[in-house]
Amino acid sequence: MTTVDKPRTSASIALRVAGVIEETADSCSVVFHVPDETDGAFDYRPGQFLTLRIPSDRTGSVARCYSLASSPFTDEHPKVTVKRTADGYGSNWICDNVRIGDVLEVLPPSGAFTPKNLDDNFLLFAGGSGITPVISILKSALTQGNGKVALVYANRDEKSVIFADELRELAAAQPKRLLIFHLLQSEQGLPNAERMATLIAPFEGYESFLCGPAPFMDAAREALNLLGVPRSRIHAEAFNSLAGDPFSPIPVVDLGADDADDDAATLEVELDGESHHLTWPRARTLVDIMLARGLDVPYSCREGECGSCACRVVEGDVVMDNCRVLDPDDIDSGYILACQSRPSTDHVKIEF
């Protein structure tokens, strides 16, 4: 693969820390000030995440994705919330070192764990720090939508409940629209599918969003399956640690003689409300092609680990290399990772 002489630089921006909030004994929130000159690059949707560059003595830096716990409709500044993990270098570094006035390198918001219609009724599941994208959806739905919201929130004990005061205030302000069910392991044991199915039965017709540790997510999915909730109404979020460096300069593919039109598919891609018609050589990924054509395709790691480039196949088919970050239900619904996808049919239509 050849590249142009001047690689595309990372789309990251240096953001100043406007606030640091201790949420619990092992979690904190980092509030960022976004300067006006970013020209909307950091506008975000409820449920999306930011990718932060964190210094490392061993590797120079590591990249970590953290969900936005703020709402674009209720909070003045974007805020990510970070919970320490036992061996988590990034989470411990942030909780130990970040202070007001510090500057961090951040990639623009990404992620497809976001509602299409805030007027829907929502059944939200959160386990531990999985509350971070969920509370963004919750606050947005309450302020911008007219539906009802039910939250099932699992934690070890009462002291580990992130956003406890904020959730209490929201429930008090919207008693007819918001119901919160706290599942505390210290009092009720680990959540299981049967108990959750009984709890959520009145809300089986709602749009379901799930985020948390794998055992909790599995139990929530099984509870929804027991109630017969269709896959199309179940949306799950999952993160993997990034092995690559999405902050490094980005080489842009130079489409040359090796990319002959006779070994290419035709591509129609809808991005930001505009439709583009391209030739898609079968050896190239969708991100490669869109960057080469000057399109502002969303992406971060380019290794299939973050989900930033998730999009949906409307017509045709593709093959993917690494797609572990996608939930099986998402794949069944046509979602793909643009950085890992190559065409397997003669025509493909994609929507971002």
CATH of the domain at 297: 3.10.20.30
Q: Do residue 339 and residue 269 come from a single domain?
A: yes
CA–CA dist 108, 125 (Å, integer): 26
Q: Do residue 92 and residue 28 come from a single domain?
A: yes
CA–CA dist 142, 101 (Å, integer): 32
How would residue 155 be classed by pLDDT, with cut points 50, 70 and 90? very high
Q: Of all residues in the chain, what percent carry a pLDDT higher than 90?
A: 70
pLDDT at res. 222: 97
DSSP 95: H
Can you read off the two tokens belonging to residue 348? Answer: 């493909």
Q: Do residue 194 and residue 278 come from a single domain?
A: no
pLDDT at res. 111: 84
Q: Do residue 232 and residue 130 come from a single domain?
A: yes
More confident residue, 6 or 296: 296
CA–CA dist 345, 276 (Å, integer): 18
pLDDT at res. 305: 78
Can you read off the two tokens belonging to residue 142? Answer: 């309450």
Can you read off the two tokens belonging to residue 145? Answer: 């939508």
Give the domain-ending residue among 59, 74, 109. Answer: 109
Domain-embedded: residue 85: yes
Q: Do residue 138 and residue 215 come from a single domain?
A: yes
Can you read off the two tokens belonging to residue 176? Answer: 């007819």
Domain-embedded: residue 1: no
Give the domain-ending residue among 81, 109, 137. Answer: 109
Domain-embedded: residue 254: no
pLDDT digits (tens, 9 = 90+) for 156-205: 999 999 999 999 999 999 999 999 999 999 999 999 999 999 999 999 99
pLDDT at res. 5: 30
Q: Do residue 97 and residue 25 come from a single domain?
A: yes
Can you read off the two tokens belonging to residue 38? Answer: 């970013």
Give the domain-ending residue among 51, 78, 109. Answer: 109
Domain-embedded: residue 246: no
CA–CA dist 113, 130 (Å, integer): 12
CA–CA dist 301, 304 (Å, integer): 7
Q: Do residue 93 and residue 132 come from a single domain?
A: no
Domain-embedded: residue 305: yes
Alpha-carbon radius of gyration of the chain: 21
How far is the CA of 301 from the CAs of 205, 316, 323, in angstroms? 36, 25, 13
pLDDT at res. 4: 28
Domain-embedded: residue 247: no
CATH of the domain at 80: 2.40.30.10
How would residue 253 be classed by pLDDT, with cut points 50, 70 and 90? low
Question: In the predicted model, what is the mean pLDDT of the chain?
Answer: 90
Average pLDDT score over residue span 260-286? 89
CATH of the domain at 206: 3.40.50.80
Average pLDDT score over residue span 24-49? 94
Q: How many domains does the chain have?
A: 3
Q: Which domain holds residue 95?
A: 13-109
